[in-house]
Amino acid sequence: MRARDLAEPYPFVTTDDDAMDAARMLAQHSLPALLVLDSDGQPYAIVPGSQLIRQVLPTCIAEDHLLAPFAG
């Protein structure tokens, strides 16, 4: 058996995609992180879900540890 036999498709976004769309994909697929591809389709980054959500939350929510305990 080869590693390619174990490989499964993984959802991804590109560097041109909107952060809110990326957050929706993260939630819809219950992903721990997102794979980000550059304009050539090459891997650019792996963004942890907590980091992505922290970026899209309004500041007033992100700063309230009762509303967003993971964002601090």
What span, in angstroms and rounded, lies between the C-alpha atoms of 32 and 40? 24
In this prediction, residue 2 has a pLDDT band, given cuts at 50, 70 and 90, of very high
CA-based radius of gyration for the chain:
15
Query: Using CA atoms, how far apart are residues 65 and 40, in angstroms rounded to an integer?
Result: 39
Residue 31 structure tokens: 């992903």
For residue 21, being part of any structural domain is answered with yes
Over 80: is that where the pLDDT of 62 sits? no
Residue 29, C-beta contacts closer than 8 angstroms, at least 6 positions apart: 11
pLDDT tens for each residue of 6-20 = 988 899 999 999 988
pLDDT in tens, 8-61: 889 999 999 998 899 899 989 999 999 999 999 999 999 998 888 878 777 776
pTM above 0.75, yes or no: no
**pLDDT of the residue at 55:** 80
Residue 46 is classified by DSSP as: E
Task: Kindly report the CATH number assigned to the domain that includes residue 54.
Answer: 3.10.580.10
* Domain assignment present for 10: yes
The number of folded domains in the chain is 1
Q: Which range of residues forms the domain containing residue 10? A: 3-62
